[in-house]
Amino acid sequence: MARLQAAGSVWPEEVLKLPAIEFHVAGVTGHSLKNHEKQVTFFRFDEGVTVPDHSHGAQWGYLVTGEMTLEIEGRTELYQAGDVYYIPAGKKHRTSFSQMSHVIDMGDDPHRYPLRG
């Protein structure tokens, strides 16, 4: 089995060839798959990134590498590589990353992250 790693990313080339998303915060890149019900995005968050308060449909995720602080309506939890998270629909939340992190994220809104181009 070969170890795959693109520059600064743990995602294999096949993931990096997926459509890139538009994201409103600097230091965040993502590549996404979606159908008429869901969207799955492979994210890379640079060290020090904070995604400000927002809400949307239900969201699940798996932290592949790094560390993420997730605050949901005032309750804060620290997540590390191997942890999973769930954000209920409509709950105001924010995230921050103390180190470069890679996340696989799935949400109920297939249009949550618009595709570039």
For the chain, what are the domain ranges? 27-101
42: β partners: 31, 104
Tokens (6 digits) for 8: 């600064």
Q: What pLDDT sits at residue 105?
A: 98
pLDDT score at 117: 73
- Digit-by-digit pLDDT tens for the chain (117 residues) are 445 455 578 999 999 999 999 999 999 999 999 999 999 999 999 999 999 999 999 999 999 999 999 999 999 999 999 999 999 999 999 999 999 999 999 999 999 999 997
Confidence (pLDDT) at 9: 80
What is the structure's pLDDT at 24?
92
CATH of 27-101, one of 1.20.1250.20, 3.40.50.720, 2.60.120.10, 3.40.50.2300: 2.60.120.10
